[in-house]
Chains A and B, each alone.
Chain A
Amino acid sequence: MTAVATAPAPGRSGTPSRIVNAARIHAANPWGTLILPWIIYAAIFALTLAIWGLITMNAGGRQNLDADAFLYNGGGTWVLFYMMVVAVQAMNQTFKFALGLCVTRREYYLGSALYFLFLSAIYTTGITLLGIVERATDGWGLQGSFFVPFWMQEASLAERWLAWFGLFTVFFFLGAAVATVYVRWGSNGMIAFFATLSVLALAAVFVIVRFDLGPEVSGWFGARSLVQLVGLGLVASAVAGLVGFLLMRRATPRA
């Protein structure tokens, strides 16, 4: 009986509690969304540290290397791309189960979105805290930048948190949109989606190169502040989230 007493009363009529409970389906088995990504992230960080250590040893000390030797690396931001995979897997895993419990698509999607915001906050806070440690230890004693990437060097603590949060939501909601394509049209849908995406990306590159817009594009982004870029990211997340919602409305749980 205690298990029932601690759970919120089952909600009726699309009330917030049914949406929150839909989010809890994702958390019922936290391995794929909350545990495994940290393990992989930790392994990548350990490898990066080992490489930095080896280089420093070979050079006969940190002072023999450039100051920015360990500034540019993608290891710290890799986790963002992985979150897209996490979102796709999470939704693919739970969609049929949630509908099997007579949850509406709307409740399921909003619950998933809520869970992805929750995950964004967890990962952002974790990485921001590790960034504080990174700064306090002079880049893990090696002047390395892992949790505070090069483009974030000048940002304040609050800006760093915001930037990570914006990025996480972008990748989670892109993942959610991709997941709905998969849930609705299966692997053929995925192939068509990524083929279209590749063509569009190629077309954009072609236009930029053909009309020599490269400097203008990078100049435009360069002129934006970090907070402005985060704002853009949140808009992109909202658009991806809306697209996912519209696709989800007609999805069916076919085996």
Chain B
Amino acid sequence: MTSIIEVEGLTKHYRGVTAVDDATFALQGPAIHGLLGRNGAGKTTLMQLISGQEFASSGTIRVFGESPVENPDVLGRMCFIKESQVYPDGFKAPHVLRAASWFFPHWNEELAQQLVEDFRLPVKRQVKKMSRGQRSALGAIVAIASRAELTLLDEPYAGLDAVARHLFYDRLLADYAEHPRTIVLSTHLIDEAADLLERVIVIDSGRIVINELADDLRGSATTLAGRAEDVERFAQGREVIDQSRLGGLATVTLLGLTAQDKDTAQKAGLEISPVSLQQLIVRRTGASMEQELAS
């Protein structure tokens, strides 16, 4: 694995807002990574900076070891699909796919046509008149068929129904297995994508608040359930990020349990379950915002 994206001290001020605030991280490949965060957190701006569409206020970005800005050597190996992509008037799906084939050196036309069928994309309708889901499907098709060495997908399934989202994951993973590359997915549907992700970067108000391997992140918290007094006794003095109580039963989510701790909990009659990535991130970004307010 080598570093595909290296970002250091990256800041972007934009119309009086700090959209990206002193971000530093590196993403390695081949792998699928997640860029997670709430709407307006700075995900799109960060991807636009990485693809050279926006200019940084300060800090550095290296993609394949070079600055991406106005750099065809870097941009020619990259594919960036954003939810808010604007298409020219009169363009239909075949126009978009043809133009894409001119710029992505690893473009696979057969795959693209197969995906058009799979997603049931209307080929005679103007892109501007397509539904949001159909436009998302078009973006997903370009992203998968481009087979670019680095693919950035910004909210790729806005407006897609559950069946189409499943199809998207399915086709993306199938093609990824045959043609490993580096894919960065931005989404707020965290749990759906959780199993795909190698590294998770969470951005909140422009700041990177979590940058961890998904496995480490998942292992970092544990939910315990059992009789209220047993749960409370065990939780005493530990870092609690969530708790709830229903009659005599309670659940609590704790950070930083060792294998030994878990053993003890089990012996105390508590039921152990892993925490979903989504819950964990909601908890941790919630906490970070509280700290921000307190400071």
Contacts and interface: CB of A to CB of B under 8 A. Distances in A.
Contact of A99 (B53, B87, B90, B101): B53
A93 B55 contact: no
B72 A249 contact: no
Given A21-B103, A93-B89, A255-B86, A102 B98 contact: no
A11 B51 CA distance: 18
A97 B86 CA distance: 6
A7 B91 contact: no
Interface in A69-112: 93-94, 96-97, 99-107
B90 A29 contact: yes
Contacts of B23: none
Given A1-B110, A103-B75, A104-B52, A253 B105 contact: no
A106 B70 contact: yes
Interface string B51-91: 11111000000000000001111011011111011111111
B109 A18 contact: no
B103 A10 contact: yes
A28 interface: yes
Interface residues of B, number: 37
B157 interface: no
B55 A97 contact: no
Contact of B99 (A18, A93, A101, A107): A101
Contact of B103 (A18, A96, A255): A18
A140 interface: no
Given A96-B85, A253-B53, A101 B71 contact: no
Interface in A214-255: 249-250, 252-253, 255
Contacts of B105: 9-10, 12
Contacts of A31: 90
A4 B101 contact: yes
A13 B73 contact: yes
A62 interface: no
Nearest to B89: A93
Contacts of B26: none
Nearest to B78: A102
A249 to B, nearest CB: 7
A114 interface: no
A249 B88 CA distance: 21
Contacts of B90: 29, 31-32
Contacts of A105: 70
A135 interface: no
Most buried by A among B53, B75, B88, B91: B88
Interface string A1-45: 101100111111111001001001100110110000000000000
A29 B79 contact: no
A4 B78 contact: no
B109 A3 contact: yes
Nearest to A99: B53
Given A4-B107, A102-B51, A107-B72, A21 B102 contact: yes
Interface in A136-192: none
Most buried by A among B52, B75, B102: B102
Contacts of B84: 255
B72 A97 contact: no
Contact of A94 (B88, B104, B109): B88
A25 B90 CA distance: 12
A108 to B, nearest CB: 10
A24 B102 contact: yes
Contacts of B52: 102, 104
A12 B98 contact: no
B95 interface: yes
A197 to B, nearest CB: 27
A101 B101 CA distance: 10
Contacts of B104: 10, 101
B235 interface: no
Interface in B213-237: none
Nearest to B150: A102
Given A100-B82, A102-B51, A252-B54, A7 B102 contact: yes
A3 B98 contact: yes
B240 interface: no
Contact of B76 (A13, A99, A100): A13
B100 A101 contact: yes
Contacts of B70: 104-106, 249
Most buried by B among A8, A18, A31, A250: A18
A14 B72 contact: yes
A15 B73 CA distance: 10
Most buried by A among B71, B82, B86: B86
A132 to B, nearest CB: 33
Given A102-B51, A255-B86, 9 more contacts: A1-B109, A3-B109, A21-B99, A28-B88, A97-B86, A102-B75, A102-B78, A249-B70, A253-B53
A-B pairs with the 6 shortest C-beta distances?
Answer: A21-B102, A14-B72, A102-B75, A93-B88, A96-B86, A29-B90
